[in-house]
Structure 1
Amino acid sequence: MSARYVRRSETGPQRTAGESHSPFVDLREHARAIRRFWRSVALLVLLGIGVAALITFRTAPVYETQTTYFVDASLGGTDSALQADEFAQRRINSYVGLVTSERMAKVIIDDTGLDLQPADVSAMITATVQPETVLLAVVVADTSPDRSRLISQSIARNLDEQIGQLDNRGKTSKVDVSVLSGPTLNPTPVSPRTKLNLAIGLLLGLGLGVAQAILRQQLDTSFQTRDQLAAVTGVPTLGQLSYDRNAKSSPVLTATTGHSRRAETFRQLRTNLRFVDAASPVSVLVVTSAVESEGKTTTAINLALTFAEAGSRVLLIDADLRKPKLENYLDLEASAGLTSVLIGEANVDDVVQDWGAQGLQVLASGPIPPNPSELLGSPTMEKVVAELRSSYDVVVIDSPPLLPVTDAAVTSVQADGVLFVVRHGKTRRDQVLQSMSQLDGVDTRILGTVLSMAPGSRRDNLPNYYQEPAS
């Protein structure tokens, strides 16, 4: 294995060997998007149901009254009953138009005295013919059940007379229209259909929710899996640190958390760092990230603790001379530290502090200087790092993020390699590639990446593999 890793591309994500463009992969991506944005999916589902419920609530109920008519035709002469039946079937289709016509609407208004326009009455009436029969069904739908029944009754009284006037009864043929059933009012509103409306609202909300989740996933350039991170950077993803809600209040591993899943992930990261390039072991390690709030400082602290736990002589250095964090996490004396050493006011042994039961030693940042980059890139810094190599097995340097300042790139020149921390779902692809380009510019050896604050997985729920203490 070579001393440096070469990234595959700086133009975008590359597919790993195990990936292929298949429907199954797409489905997994869609499922991942839904899981990631499940809150917005649920919100849109609830919104769809709410809108459907509001529309249903504000829609006036519609009642229907139905009447069924029988059309009977009698022909003059010796024509058969079959011919009369065929004649009635031909004529009945014309009666559909008559029932819904303006002529019939005016008759109904005159008969009932309703204060409506003929077009309004016609819009309430629907007439259909049952296929291959002489049965005519007339339905009157209205928001008022009494008015619906009143109009149906008026049609039943006047339809036969109106047909007689149009058919010129009394000559050679006669068509009688008689009521077979009804008018019958359905006491249950036919509209709005509450269950159907709610189901439609749910489906529309679900569809919109899934669509926006997939769209957001496609437009999002952050990293969701360690495979994505490895494909873009071209270096191995050495660890994935799951998000721990207790990490904010207890970011540093302690004896009480030594058997936790979180502690085990740092031990796995320690092991991966030891074997990532066995031909070129790492004794001085820089931990950095692209931007702030990626979890690099807590990663540096807990990684140093796991090295110390394994019996190594470990020094943790706070090389963030602009916004030092170690003094807050570890409750250190910050009046003297790395800055004091670099400007010649103190020796390393005078300002190193012991921390914890594992034998970890820490070098705080010290006073904030006006020229951090120049100090970190000075020959004095190079000499200090060279001396520390002979005194410690592992030196872990917590550096500032790469994109805001150049300090980490300058410091990395003195180290054996860089561990790059990327926050799950936040650090963008362009930020990572730009940071990698900066490290390439100073010919830095990039050991690998760490995906931090990843959502918990099933593995996180596995029991710890430790023997219960004897009672």
Structure 2
Amino acid sequence: MKPSGGSAPGGLFSRLTGFPAGTGGDGVAALSKRQWTRLTAAHQVRAVVAHRWAVVVLALLGAAGAGAVTLAQTPVYSSTVQLVLTANYPAKDIDQVSRGSNYVLQRINTYATIANNSGVAKAVIDKLGLPYSGEQLMANVTVTTHAGSTAMEISVRDTSAQRASDIANAYGAEFPAFVGKLETPDYVDTAPIRVSVTTPATVPAAPVSPDPVANVALGLLAGLGCGLVLAAVRYARVRTVRDERHATEITGLSLLGAPAVDRAAPLLGADRAATPAAEAFRQIRTNARLRAAGQRLTSIAVVGSVPGDDAAAVAANLALTWARAGDTVVLIDGDFRDPSLPGLFGVPNGTGLADMLSAGTPANHALQQVQPELQLFLLAPGTPMPGSAERLLRTNELTKLMESFRRDGAFVVLLAPPLLANADTLVLLSATDAVAATTRVGFTHSDRLAAALQVLQAIRANVLGIVATRP
């Protein structure tokens, strides 16, 4: 596949996928969104940690709001009078006692139903001079019975503790009279059922509503729940690669490694050879060899999807790692538009790749040994004539150059320009044996990474895996 000259950034992606440049296309967006919504438990923990202050603030606001509502509410007190229903006739033998008890048990549910009626309520209101209507009083009275028992409890709720007690005791006084009238036929003098107060109502010491402890606890939990949801939503809305696992989910590629890259000092010098970052790059070298087992691996291209993916740091440190293993390494900067490797190693971008491809400049005039103690040589991009970069890469000279390095026993690490920003990348990738894709956690947008994967699949690149760098 030959790229056309003068491609604008994003044009490569648009041509290969058919999606508009800058949007990533519906297919890529759908892939990115699907992968992005897979929040694992570890991701949720990271979301909470990342937005912990928002979670704490919302939890405290929930507790404070519940406390404020509690303080604004009028306290409600409850007082209860306990009654017992018994048979009201002399029992001469055990059978009469049993029949009387059964009669009371049969009637208890009926009286529980009618205990809180308008007649009793009116009598209580008149007795106490209450500022309530019958319906209002009845709404605050609850009658309770227990299975197999002839006891009855009448509970009254009121905003005044004393008044709640007075009303409950008034019910205890008026209800027996109501039962007496109801149960006494015209032809008898005594009602068969007697209602007695066993436990009079007392003035409650504390309100039953609101419950400050329960309300504040519920408010705290509600605020905490809102905070957790907010943290997860804010975490998921950030359209960048979360971590190395997310990078592999988006691309479907194996993880070669997840090294830490310090952009202020990206190169792993000899003094950092024993650091975790250096060990991570050694692991990347090992994983690359294992992934390429059975294939020729004399060169590898390192490519990111967009500028800032740490591709230059990965390529430079991979070259250093291979050289420290005893190999002769040629590190090529293939980005004519934005050279980065000469600056990393502190060497000039003089004679380089452009001169070797256009004028046949000998390798010993273009290669620069950047580490005196290592067989590591940098081939800078050089300075091609305006508009000639595409013509240089369309020739067979690049393939011949790579073959010459192979014949000389050198391992080649090639830094390619960002995949979605430069059409030259296709030719550079085709000249190497394998490709390592790069992405930066917390920086690379997931849809761009997915788009880069589609480009690599379209050109059938031999992608060994992905390197996910971290700050």
Match of 2:330 in 1: 315
Q: For residues 443 and 126 of structure 1, do their structure 2 counterparts lie closer, same or farther at Cα, with a shift above 3 Å needed?
A: closer
Match of 2:62 in 1: 51
After superposing the two structures, state which structure 1 stretch, 132-141 or 89-98, moved more: 89-98
Matched, 1:69 2:88: no
After superposing the two structures, state which structure 1 stretch, 362-371 or 172-181, moved more: 362-371
Letter in 1 for 2:197: V
Match of 1:467 in 2: none
Q: TM-score, normalised by structure 1?
A: 0.72
For the residues of structure 2 that align with 1:141 and 1:336, how far apart are their CA atoms?
Answer: 95
Contact 1:45 1:206 in 2 (8 A): no
Cα shift at 1:411: 0.6
Letter in 2 for 1:101: N
Q: For residues 390 and 177 of structure 1, do their structure 2 counterparts lie closer, same or farther at Cα, with a shift above 3 Å needed?
A: same
Match of 2:32 in 1: none
Match of 2:136 in 1: 120
Match of 2:280 in 1: 265
Matched, 1:151 2:167: yes
Contact 1:291 1:404 in 2 (8 A): yes
For the residues of structure 2 that align with 1:418 and 1:131, how far apart are their CA atoms?
Answer: 80
**1:452-471 alignment runs, 5 A limit:** 452-453=468-469
For the residues of structure 1 that align with 2:451 and 2:55, how far apart are their CA atoms?
Answer: 36
RMSD between aligned residues: 4.5
Cα shift at 1:129: 0.8
Q: For residues 433 and 231 of structure 1, do their structure 2 counterparts lie closer, same or farther at Cα, with a shift above 3 Å needed?
A: closer
Q: Which digits, 9 at most, give the CA deviation of each residue in 1:261-295, with x for residues without a partner?
A: 22112112223334544554423221113344443
Contact 1:45 1:209 in 2 (8 A): no
For the residues of structure 2 that align with 1:30 and 1:200, how far apart are their CA atoms?
Answer: 27
Matched, 1:229 2:240: no
Q: For residues 194 and 77 of structure 1, do their structure 2 counterparts lie closer, same or farther at Cα, with a shift above 3 Å needed?
A: closer
Matched, 1:409 2:426: yes
Corresponding residue to 2:208 among 184, 190, 215: 190
Letter in 2 for 1:268: Q
For the residues of structure 2 that align with 1:317 and 1:339, how far apart are their CA atoms?
Answer: 11
Local SS of the residue matching 2:201: strand
For the residues of structure 1 that align with 2:208 and 2:457, how far apart are their CA atoms?
Answer: 72
Please, which runs of 5 or more residues in structure 1 have no aligned partner? 1-10, 13-27, 456-471
Q: For residues 350 and 40 of structure 1, do their structure 2 counterparts lie closer, same or farther at Cα, with a shift above 3 Å needed?
A: closer
Local SS of the residue matching 1:148: helix
Cα shift at 1:37: 3.8
Contact 2:250 2:446 in 1 (8 A): no
Match of 1:179 in 2: 197
**1:243-282 alignment runs, 5 A limit:** 244=260, 247-277=262-292, 279-282=294-297
Corresponding residue to 1:139 among 150, 155, 166: 155
Q: For residues 102 and 453 of structure 1, do their structure 2 counterparts lie closer, same or farther at Cα, with a shift above 3 Å needed?
A: farther
Contact 1:373 1:410 in 2 (8 A): no
Match of 1:325 in 2: 340
Q: Which has the higher contact order (CA 8 A, sep 6+)?
A: 2
Contact 2:434 2:461 in 1 (8 A): yes
Local SS of the residue matching 2:88: strand
Q: How many residues align?
A: 423
Local SS of the residue matching 1:333: coil
Q: Which digits, 9 at most, give the CA deviation of each residue in 1:405-450, with x for residues without a partner?
A: 333222112112212235568878876665455345445333x113
Q: TM-score, normalised by structure 2?
A: 0.72
Match of 1:444 in 2: 461
Q: Percent identity?
A: 27
